[in-house]
A and B are shown apart, each in its own frame.
Chain A
Amino acid sequence: MDVLLDNLDLYGPFFWTTIKLFLISAVASLIFGTFLAGLRVSPVPVFRAVGTAYVTLLRNTPLTLVFVFLVFAYPLLEILELSYFVAAVVALTLYTSAFICEVVRSGINTVPVGQAEAARALGLGFGQILGQIVLPQAIRSVVPPLMSMLIALLKNTTIAAGFSVAEAGAIRQYLSERGDNQLIGLLWVALGFIILVAVLSLIQRSLEKRWSVAR
């Protein structure tokens, strides 16, 4: 308990950074992932190829490697300077989007054929069918796996600790400088994550109940 109480000035702000990192990357990955899914089901073969190439590359690259590239290699290209926090958001978003894309795409496949056929019969175009008929139903049917992705994203934010972002995973480093017990300190960090994951699971369950499509 002492380790936690003596270092509340670390735990509070650092966990808050974790939450910010999570929320921003979550929103960005949901948007970008859905866009990628749109590419992968589009009628234009080139778009499909681009989407597939992106997903294949990112899904088979370790997230730590994405971080290494963005933090150590990318600055040498002198394109646009990113702070460590922004670099972490970009790394998490680029990686998570590839997985979100696949979940949304599998959701699109669960929407009954008749829905899209009826929309087509009414003369709606691809964009209208996807945006107004299929996606709203698809997203609802994939709430559980989407939330699992977000839980994984939350846990992945700890990797930013290795890349100069002051979030929960980095608490250990500061504790070791202060000479506190790192084992106890890390157990508190673990407990913090267990609580955050539990909160997300609760949201998952309530969304599942509220949003389940009556078919």
Chain B
Amino acid sequence: MSNVLFDVPGPKARARHRAMAVLGILVVAAILAYIVYRFIDSGQFTARKWEWLQYTQVQTDLANALLATLEAFALGAVLALIFGAIFAAGRLSDHAWLRGISTFIVEFFRAIPLLILMFLFYYGGPAVGISLPPLTAVVLGLTLYNGSVLAEVFRAGIQALPKGQSEAAYALGMRKTQVMTLVLIPQAIRSMLPTIISQLVVLLKDTALGFLVTYPELLYYARYIGSQGDFGRPIVPSTIVIAAIYIALCLLLTALANFIEKRQRRNKKHLEIQRPPMTEDVVGVA
């Protein structure tokens, strides 16, 4: 927080700030009040639109949808981490042809929209006789896209380490593989962990794209329950509930990233390197 931009407010500025705060609260309150009014006026807060939450069947289905989201997330995360590690190693290889192939693959999958990747597997597969279930298409897409981004994160982490680290290891007579696995990777992973986790937040949000290839995850279920006439088509309540679940999940992961970052700052064993600003990963797709 840069408070260089303004002085410690004097009495006059304080009065002005207070006036602006009141005005700001009024504006925000007016907007919120109008939205709530529209919600009430269009009957979104009537008991009928919310009572679906009380049915045991709905709760079980909701839990299953959550599990489906988490399943896609867990599979995608593990595979993307493996994919990322392999191609980061490929991009750092001493063999030009291996570097070339790895660079091509990573750049290729980063440039294609994730949804198009999922479409390719789900709708394009049958054209060559391969019919994949939605989950496989979703996980494959998540793996290739996020794995490519993670490969860049790993590579940036290793390249950001001071040169002396590998030089010293070579001077001790270590082989290339030893330098990598014993010296560079442990340090790089530790310093890149917060970035890696925020990429996993992106991956978690990206699972919602599964909705568009008929994978029955949380958002798919929200849409389904929202179209049920028996409950008065509660699409507004159901999206609110699902949004709350997604936000809670993402904030949990973010909290983990922050916790790790804080612990690292205390930990003297940790080598402080400048983490390159890899902002594209933090925006991700969905």
Contacts and interface: CB of A to CB of B under 8 A. Distances in A.
A19 interface: no
B243 A155 contact: no
Interface string A169-186: 100100010000111101
A77 B41 CA distance: 8
A76 B239 CA distance: 13
Interface in A57-77: 57, 59-65, 68-69, 72-73, 76-77
Contact of B286 (A44, A78, A159): A159
Contacts of B226: 72-73
Interface in A154-213: 155-159, 161-162, 169, 172, 176, 181-184, 186-187, 189-190, 193-194, 197-198
Contacts of B5: 41, 43, 108, 116, 126, 129-130, 134
A93 to B, nearest CB: 14
Given A41-B2, A130-B5, A64 B212 contact: yes
B100 interface: no
B127 interface: yes
B236 A76 contact: yes
Chain B interface main SS type: helix
Contacts of B173: none
Chain A interface main SS type: helix
Contacts of B13: 43
B48 to A, nearest CB: 14
Interface of A: 41, 43-47, 50, 56-57, 59-65, 68-69, 72-73, 76-79, 96, 99, 103, 106, 108-109, 113, 116-117, 120, 126, 129-130, 134, 144-145, 148-149, 151-152, 155-159, 161-162, 169, 172, 176, 181-184, 186-187, 189-190, 193-194, 197-198
B205 A68 contact: no
B170 interface: no
Query: 5 closest pairs, A vs B, by CB?
Result: A183-B124, A62-B208, A60-B250, A148-B280, A145-B279
Given A46-B28, A69-B239, A155-B113, 7 more contacts: A60-B254, A73-B226, A99-B279, A126-B5, A157-B113, A183-B128, A190-B112
17 contacts: A43-B13, A46-B20, A60-B247, A61-B250, A63-B286, A68-B222, A72-B223, A116-B2, A117-B4, A126-B6, A149-B280, A172-B119, A182-B126, A183-B120, A183-B125, A190-B116, A194-B108
Given A61-B243, A117-B4, A134-B5, A76 B124 contact: no
Contacts, number: 191
| Most chain A C-beta atoms within 10 Å of own C-beta, residue among B113, B128, B250 | B113
Contacts of A63: 205, 208, 285-286
Contacts of B208: 62-65
A161 B113 CA distance: 12
Interface string B234-251: 011001001100110011
Interface of B: 1-7, 9, 13, 17, 20-21, 24-25, 28, 35, 38-39, 41-42, 44, 108, 111-117, 119-120, 123-128, 201, 205-209, 211-212, 219, 222-223, 226, 235-236, 239, 242-243, 246-247, 250-251, 254, 277, 279-280, 282-286
B206 A62 contact: yes
A40 to B, nearest CB: 8
A162 B211 contact: yes
A207 to B, nearest CB: 15
A101 B42 CA distance: 33
Nearest to A149: B283
Given A44-B20, A65-B219, A181-B127, A190 B120 contact: yes
A184 B127 contact: yes
A111 B47 CA distance: 53
Contacts of B286: 62-64, 156, 159
